[in-house]
Amino acid sequence: DNFSGLNDAFGVALGNRILGALIEPLRQAFPPPAMLARVTADLFAVIGPAEQIDSTQAMTVFEQPLRLDNTLYRLTACTTELTLDAVAGNADELLRAAWTSLRAAKQRGPGTRVAYDPDIERQAGERFALMSRLGQDLQRDALFLVFQPQVCLSTGRIVGAEALLRWRTDAGLIPPGEFIPVAEKSVYIHAIGDRVVQQACEALKAIDAAGLNDLPLSVNVSARQFDAPGLAERVAAHCAEAGVELHRLALEITETAAMRNFSQVAQALRAHRAAGGIVAIDDFGTGQSSLEYLRDLPADHLKIDLSFVRHLEQDERCRQIASMIIKLGRSLGVGLIAEGVETRGQADWLRDNGCQTGQGWLFAKPLPLPEFIDFCRQ
Ligand code: C2E
Ligand code: CA
Ligand code: CA
Ligand code: CA
């Protein structure tokens, strides 16, 4: 399920067929009980139509042409090193272990080497279990949104809210930081993303019905949601279906996420804005992005990350950085939203230094919709 850009039913089917096609040649190349055969298998990153593969990227130890649906694919093995004696000694075991190690290596990032051990297998098993529970719960509305007010720092008025996802399970609430990264490695992230936008649109209707005139909401969008084209169009379709105007819905994307897939993300965000939607750059200042990205990334708001807000009162350097972000935002003509505001002192400093909007426990924790609506009425 981990194909770059092929993370859908087709990708999975293709993956299975490729695995099937690999097993026999591997068996012949390393007949059991082979000793210390070094096998490398990146079944994921470097498959693609043969002419698009740059074979210099990979140390090729194994190649196999494969025709699928009239396209010639060349499978190039690389990245994960494994010795046959580390596993039971047959090709199927070897491939499975290669697959597991490879996933672990990918999770740790480019250039890492992971030696297979059963512990990795266990962790992969836990992730897999979480993922399959997530798949089932998607059908059962166990995922729901809570809403955290965003407050004008000069007047105290509520000017919007961020929708944050929650997953209710028998074992209690699982925080998004735990399941979103897992979901991002599966096809579920698309269904989850759609569900979030849909629920946000429903919430906007409830907000209107409660007479809270035109309060906007923002939702978090994962970089993976941009892998499938037409994100802006899908968001617009959900809004139209619910009868809410697009300018009521902001998409929050982190700069790190945007950089992963820059041209596609920028294009979708431009389309969203051109249709009247709002874009916020989340966790601003925490990624490794350069200002060059900011130049080309269309945005209406920058969100100052809570890591800068947290130490505002104690740490002069944090104040300098926050102040620089605010100046940058103002000179670019974008709105500034500080997240993680927990103290009056932080809120005052932010207001005095030109940040209009704050969000954080000082004002309210993320609230279920009825409580959020009550909170706005007070
Ligand atoms: P984020 O977008 O940066 O969201 C802000 C996080 O800070 C939220 O954590 C929020 O509950 C928390 N927070 C708010 N005020 C305060 C405060 O005053 N102090 C402190 N210490 N924390 C505060 P949460 O809800 O656990 O969400 C974590 C992350 O999960 C989010 O970070 C976002 O990246 C991701 N996430 C949440 N909902 C969704 C979603 O619907 N889709 C996607 N793709 N990601 C989501
Ligand atoms: Ca956010
Ligand atoms: Ca954030
Ligand atoms: Ca954050």
Structural domain spans, the chain: 9-116, 142-377
Report the pLDDT value the prediction gives residue 371, as an integer from 0 to 100: 98
Report the pLDDT value the prediction gives residue 100, as an integer from 0 to 100: 67
In sign, the C-alpha dihedral spanning 258, 263, 267, 270 is: positive
CA of 138 to the centre of ligand 4 (A): 24
CA of 282 to the centre of ligand 4 (A): 7
- Per cent of the chain over pLDDT 90 is 48
CA of 66 to the centre of ligand 1 (A): 44
Report the pLDDT value the prediction gives residue 6, as an integer from 0 to 100: 39
Whether 283 lines ligand 1, by a CB cut-off of 6 Å, is: yes
Which amino acid does the sequence have at 91?
A
Report the pLDDT value the prediction gives residue 238, as an integer from 0 to 100: 96
Residue 38 pLDDT > 70, yes or no? no
ipTM (interface pTM): 0.97
Atom of ligand 1 nearest to the CA of 359: 15
State the pLDDT confidence band at 290, using cuts at 50, 70 and 90: low
Q: What is the mean pLDDT of the chain?
A: 78
For residue 62, the SS3 value is coil
Q: Find the mean pLDDT for residues 352-357.
A: 98
Long-range contacts: 337-344, Cβ < 8 Å, 24+?
337/150, 337/280, 337/301, 337/302, 337/303, 337/304, 338/153, 338/303, 338/304, 338/309, 339/303, 339/304, 339/305, 339/306, 339/309, 340/305, 340/306, 340/307, 340/309, 340/310, 341/309, 342/309, 342/310, 343/313
Report the pLDDT value the prediction gives residue 360, as an integer from 0 to 100: 98
**Residue with CA at minimum distance from ligand 1 atom 45:** 220
Q: Considering every ligand atom, which ligand is closest to the CA of 286?
A: 4
Rounded Cα distance, 221 and 225, in Å: 7
For residue 287, the SS3 value is coil
Per residue in 202-213, pLDDT (tens digit) is 999 999 999 997
Whether 358 lines ligand 1, by a CB cut-off of 6 Å, is: no
pTM value is: 0.74
- Give domain 142-377's CATH architecture: Alpha-Beta Barrel (3.20)
The answer to which of 19-23, 62-66, 338-342 has the lowest mean pLDDT is 62-66
Rounded Cα distance, 238 and 265, in Å: 19
Which of 151, 174, 189, 220 has most ligand 1 atoms within 8 Å of its beta carbon, as the pocket-test mutant? 220
Residue 258 pLDDT > 90, yes or no? no
State the pLDDT confidence band at 292, using cuts at 50, 70 and 90: confident
Which of 162, 164, 367 has most ligand 1 atoms within 8 Å of its beta carbon, as the pocket-test mutant? 164
Residue 291 pLDDT > 90, yes or no? no
Whether 306 lines ligand 1, by a CB cut-off of 6 Å, is: yes
Per residue in 126-174, pLDDT (tens digit) is 777 787 788 888 877 899 999 999 999 999 999 999 999 999 988 888 8
What's the DSSP call for residue 40? E
